[in-house]
Amino acid sequence: MEAHSWHLVAALAQAGHDVTLFASGDSADALPQGVELFPILPEHYDSRYPWHAYHGTDTLNAHVDAGFARAGQALIDGKFDVIHNNSLHRYPPRLARVHRLPMVTSLHIPPFDALRRAVHESAAPWARFTVTSHRQLRIWWPDGHPVEASVAYNGIDTAQWPYRPGGDGSAIWAGRITETKGTHLSVQASRMAGVPLTLYGTIENADYFDRSVRPYLSETIRYGGHLQGRDLAAAYGKASVLLFTPCWEEPFGLAAIEAMATGLPVAAVANGAAQEVIGAAGIYAAADRLPDLATALRRAMLIDPMVPFQRVVERYTVAHMIQNYEACYAKAIAGLGRSDVPDVTFAPIELTLAPQLRENA
C-alpha cells in the first residue's frame, strides 16, 4: 500500500493535479515532486510502537486514532476537491459520509471487522470505494456490492520495470517475508524442482524466517536481502521465472505484475485474485500441493516472456490506474449534488475529530 500510495500521488501530480499527501512526517524524505505533505503522525508508528509488539494494543490504537482525528479535521478544513483514502483506518469512510466529503476509498486488503463496518455503513454517492480485483469485490460484499463500489486494478510505471526477456534459468521470489506470503512454499518447491532460487524482501517475521525458511537456504537457494526498486528490477531481469506464493486471500499481487513487466512468467499459488490478475502469464497450484507447485515452476519457464509483458501493458499501467481513479473522482464529486440521501451520525469510538495542530503534528 505504501508503494501504491507513493506512485499514485506522483502520477497525479505529474498529470497536473494539486496533491496533498496525508502520511507520516518522515515521508518527507522521499516526497514526489510537486506533492505537499500533511503529517498525520511525526513518524511512522512502527518506529515507536513496532507492529509485532503493539498490534491490537490500546497504546498503538490510541496513538493512531489521535493522528487520524487531527487528519480528519484537516480534511474538512482543507476543502479538497476530492480525497483518495488508502488507509486502513475506520475514521475516513465515516468522515466522508457524515461531512459530505467527496472521497474514494481504495481497499487493498481483505476485510477485517472494524474496517468492514466502517465501509458498509458509509457508502454514499459522494463516498465511493474501489477494490483491486473482482475477487475482492465478492469478498467485501458477498451479498452484492453497492453501486458506489467498483474494481480499479493497481498500476505500475513500466519504465521502472524494464522488459528483459530470457534469464539464467533461476527463479526469484520477492515480497514481505512472512507466513501469509508463503516464502516457505517457494523454498520447498524450488528445491523439489531443482531450480535455483533467490529470495528478496524485508524479513517481517524473524521467527518464521528462522523456523521455516532458513533451514532450506543453500548454495542454490539463497536470501539476497531487501532491494530498492531499481535493483529488484535488475534482479528480475536476470531470472527466468517468479514464484508467487500467497497463503491468504491475496487481493491483487503487486510483486507479480512488477515481475511480469520485465518478462517473467509466474509459478503461483492459486489463492485470492492470483489467477484473475496473472492470467495466462502463470501456471498454478494449490498451497497444499507442493509437487504441483514444483511442476508449475518448471512449466512456467516455458511461457513466452511477451505474454506477461503484454498483460501488464494492456491492463496494469499507471495510466490505466489513474484513468480509473479519475472516473471515480468525478463520480464522487458529482454525488455531492444528491439531496435524497439521509444524514447519519456515528458514536465517538467510530469517528472523532480533533484540532489540526499541524505545527505540532
| pLDDT confidence band for 345 (50 / 70 / 90) | very high
With cell 509459478, the residue in question is 267
| pLDDT confidence band for 166 (50 / 70 / 90) | confident
| CA 311 – CA 42 distance, rounded (Å) | 40
Query: By C-alpha distance, which of 30, 28, 46, 29 is closest to 38?
Result: 28
- Determine the pLDDT at residue 72: 95
Bridging pattern class, strands 83-85 and 103-107: parallel
| pLDDT confidence band for 357 (50 / 70 / 90) | very low
| CA 307 – CA 39 distance, rounded (Å) | 42
* CA dist list (Å): 284 to 130, 198, 257, 268, 320: 27, 20, 16, 5, 26
- Determine the pLDDT at residue 358: 42
* CA dist list (Å): 161 to 116, 138, 165, 232, 243: 34, 31, 12, 9, 17
| CA 230 – CA 64 distance, rounded (Å) | 32
- Determine the pLDDT at residue 360: 38
Query: By C-alpha distance, which of 309, 304, 270, 307 is closest to 287?
Result: 270
Strand partners, 131: 107, 151
What is the pTM for the complete model shown?
A: 0.89
Nine-digit cell at 254? Answer: 503487486
Q: Which residues contact 349 (CB under 8 A, 6 or more apart)?
A: none
- What average pLDDT does the chain have? 94
Identify whether the C-beta of residue 334 lies closer than 8 Å to the C-beta of residue 124. no
Q: Is the pLDDT of residue 52 over 60?
A: yes
Q: Tens digit of pLDDT for each residue in 167-193? A: 999 999 999 999 999 999 999 999 999
| CA 308 – CA 241 distance, rounded (Å) | 11
Nine-digit cell at 84? Answer: 483518495
- Determine the pLDDT at residue 361: 36
In 10 A of CB 239, how many CB atoms? 27
Q: Which residues contact 208 (CB under 8 A, 6 or more apart)?
A: 177, 178, 179, 183, 184
Q: Which residues contact 346 (CB under 8 A, 6 or more apart)?
A: 94, 98, 121
| pLDDT confidence band for 1 (50 / 70 / 90) | confident
| CA 111 – CA 93 distance, rounded (Å) | 14
Nine-digit cell at 83? Answer: 480525497
Nine-digit cell at 77? Answer: 478544513
